Structure 1
Amino acid sequence: MTCRDEKGGRERIRLVGIDAPEHGQPYGDESRAALAAKLAGGVVRVEGRGRDQHQRLLGRLWVDDQDVNLQMVAEGWAWAFTGFAGDDDLEAAEAAARTGRRGLWADPHPLAPSQWRATHPGHSAPARR
């Protein structure tokens, strides 16, 4: 996603710790709509954690003291992307979303974005942003 900073500059951001469905993938539109609704009209604070290989800022997003990354996983609109220190809350949120069959977990066998991209060449995350 791309955000504007307080000076009007643009910053490409990768939501750290989560992996959301791709554009064209099942639940992709719903996931994007959920994220847009969470960010609409609010002041977004980004807790940066470095940059990825595509030079996107890795960050957790906060709106009104609400952790947007965590909300996306808890509501079933993204997978927890493990491997980042301090993101155990995301794994717990995914487990609860799976159990509750929320969002994409209503599908008994949702396909993770990495698996979907492997079968749909040309749909890599950086190219579509």
Structure 2
Amino acid sequence: MTDLPQTPSLFERLGGIFGIAHFLDILGDRLYENDTLNQNPAVLRLHNEKGRPGFKFTLMAWMIQETGGPKVYPGADMRTAHANMTVSDYEYDVVLIELAAVLTNCGVPQQEHKDLITLLEGFRDDIRAGSAASA
């Protein structure tokens, strides 16, 4: 029996911890400073109360884990973590647009770019779960 080569995980294709940390460091700053996102009172409160370093850490830990890397995310599942944030589809799209710009600027290959956006689209409903007021 011949062992078939394993397809590298998205985590590996994004450059592992260091590759993901590189583009998420930039994305974290862009999301933290985004005027559209900060119009959401729950987002602004999170930013003001929790601070940028913790926000970036949880974002990176979650992304590392969800792309097939080590299980390092210490937070709640996305539905629970965003239950009271009233994230609209428009705000979610703003996050994806910011991510797309960062991935492009960081030279992330098109296939990994597409695969990461597809992965995040799969979490849209969970992240919006508590968002009935913004629908």
- TM (norm. structure 2) is 0.30
The structure carrying a bigger helix percent of its residues is 2
Rg comparison, structure with higher value: 2
- TM (norm. structure 1) is 0.30
